[in-house]
Structure 1
Amino acid sequence: MHQLELPALHSNDPLGFLAALGVLELADTALHQTVCLSWRGLAAPAVLQTEQPLTLDQLVALLVTFLPAEPAKEPLPAAPGILGLSRHTGPGAPNDALRMPIEQALQLLRDFATAERLDNDPRARWFAALVNQLCVTHAKNAKDQPQQAVTAETSPVRSHGPIWYTESTPLFAASGQMTLANNWVKAAEQCRRDVTHVHAALTGWIRVPDYTGANLDHRSTGDAAMSGDGKPSQRGVPGATWLALHAFAAFRLTGDTMNSATTAWETSGDLPALIWPVWTSPLSRSGIRALLEHPIVRTGDLARAAEFLINLGVAGICSATRTKLSNSYGPFEPGQVLWP
Structure 2
Amino acid sequence: MSTHQLELPALHSNDPLGFLAALGVLELTSVALDQAVRLSWRGLAAPAVLHTEHPLTLDELTELLVGFLPHEPGKELLPVAPGILGLPRHTAPGSPNDGLRMPIEDAHQLLRGFAAAERLHNDHRARWFAALVNQLCITPAKKVKDETQQEQQEVNDQSDHIRQKGPVWYTESTPLFAASGRMTLTNNWFKAAEQCCRDEAHVRTALTAWIRVADYTGANLDHRSTGDAAMTSDGKPSQQGVPGATWLALHAFATFRLTGDATTSAATAWDTSAELPALRWPIWTPPLTRTAISALLEHSVIRGVDPAHATDALTELGVIGICSATRTKLSNSYGPFEPGRMLWP
Deviations 1:187-211 (A, max 9, x none): 0010000000000000000100000
Post-superposition offset of 1:224: 2.8
Q: Show the counterpart of 1:120.
A: 122
Which residue does the alignment assign to 1:78? 80
Paired AA for residue 232 in structure 1: P
**TM-superposed deviation, 1:225:** 3.8
Which ranges in structure 2 are unaligned for 5 or more consecutive residues? 148-162
Query: 1:199 maps to which residue?
Result: 204
Q: Distance in 2 between matches of 1:224 and 1:3?
A: 40
CA shift at 1:270, angstroms? 1.1
Q: Secondary structure at 2:197's aligned position in 1?
A: helix
Provide the residue aligned with 1:236 in structure 2.
241
Q: Which residue of 2 aligns with 1:41?
A: 43
Give 1:303's aligned residue.
308
Q: Confirm or deny that 1:249 pairs with 2:251.
A: no
Q: Once superposed, what is the RMSD of the aligned Cα atoms? A: 1.3
Larger mean CA deviation between 299-308 and 317-326 belongs to: 299-308
Amino acid corresponding to residue 67 of structure 2 in structure 1? T
- Other-structure match for 1:169: 174
SS at match of 2:73: coil
Matched AA of 1:26:
L
Deviation at 1:81, TM superposition (A): 0.2
| 2:270 is aligned with 1:265 | yes
After superposing the two structures, state which structure 1 stretch, 226-235 or 68-77, moved more.
Answer: 226-235
| 1:222 Cα deviation from its structure 2 partner | 1.2
Alpha-carbon distance in structure 1 between the residues aligned to 2:318 and 2:243: 32
Give the unaligned 5+ runs of structure 1.
145-157
SS at structure 1 position matched to 2:247: helix
Alpha-carbon distance in 2 for matches of 1:215, 1:102 = 26
Q: Which residue of 2 aligns with 1:108?
A: 110
Q: TM-score, normalized by length of structure 2? A: 0.93
What per-residue deviation string (whole Å, max 9, x for no partner) do you get for residues 50-107 of structure 1?
A: 0001001000000000000011111111100000011001111111110001011110
* CA distance in 1 between partners of 2:232 and 2:202 (Å): 22
Match of 1:283 among 263, 288, 291: 288
Following superposition, the deviation at residue 159 of structure 1 comes to 7.0
Partner of residue 65, structure 2: 63
- Which residue in the other structure is 1:328 paired with? 333
The answer for the alignment partner of 1:152 in structure 2 is none
User: Which letter does structure 2 place at the counterpart of 1:254?
Assistant: T
Task: Show the counterpart of 2:55.
Answer: 53
Q: Does 1:292 align with 2:294?
A: no
Residue 98 (structure 1) aligns with: 100
Size of the aligned set, in residue pairs, is 327
Inter-partner Cα distance in structure 1 for 2:213 and 2:10: 16
- Once the two structures are TM-superposed, the CA of residue 226 in structure 1 deviates from its matched residue by 3.5
Deviation at 1:231, TM superposition (A): 3.0
User: How far apart are the structure 2 equivalents of 1:211 and 1:49?
Assistant: 32
Match of 1:155 in 2: none
C-alpha deviations, 1:288-315, integer Å up to 9, x for none?
0000000100111211111110011001
Amino acid at match of 1:170: P
Partner residue, 1:26: 28
Structure in which a larger fraction of residues adopt helix = 2
Deviating beyond 2 angstroms after TM superposition, the runs of 4 or more aligned structure 1 residues are 224-231
- Find the structure with the greater CA-based Rg: 2
TM-score of the pair, normalised by structure 1: 0.94
* Letter of the 1:98 counterpart: L
Name the CA distance, whole Å, in 1 between partners of 2:36 and 2:118: 19
Percent identity of paired positions between Structure 1 and Structure 2: 76
CA distance in 2, matches of 1:117, 1:293: 25
2:237 aligned partner, one-letter code = P
Aligned to 1:137: 139
Counterpart pick for 1:312 among 309, 313, 317: 317
1:142 and 1:213 mapped to 2: Cα distance? 31
- Which residue is 1:183 aligned to? 188
Per-residue deviation at 1:230?
Answer: 4.1
